Amino acid sequence: IAVVDFYATWCGPCIAAAPRFAAMAQQYVTSSGPVHVVFCKIDVDRNSDLQAKYEIRAMPTFKILFDGDVEDTITGADLGAVESKLGMLIQYAKSKTQPAPSAASTAA
């Protein structure tokens, strides 16, 4: 899972959201267990190719990727929505990593 913050250095909401985004990164990197979560920030003024590829039209925009695909896009500094979607994806990913029940335990 990757959480990408598309931001601009001149964007007030981006600046305001930065400390909480950093705190979320610290929290999820250490607490997501077997699920690998990566957080990154992309300055749209320095990376116009990625801005175009991911169709970023407002800042901040958060993209949440799962298995390489964009799973969700949150436009604006709504980090509660980012955290909610991330929590759901982590739970889903954890369920995929659980071993399947053995034949002996399902027959009992």
HEC string of 45-105?
Answer: CCCHHHHHHCCCCCCCEEEEEECCEEEEEEECCCHHHHHHHHHHHHHHHHHHHCCCCCHHH
How far is CA 87 from each of CA 3, 33, 76, 100, rounded to the nearest angstrom?
12, 12, 19, 22
Give the residue numbers marked as catalytic. 11, 14
Name the token pair of 72.
């969700």
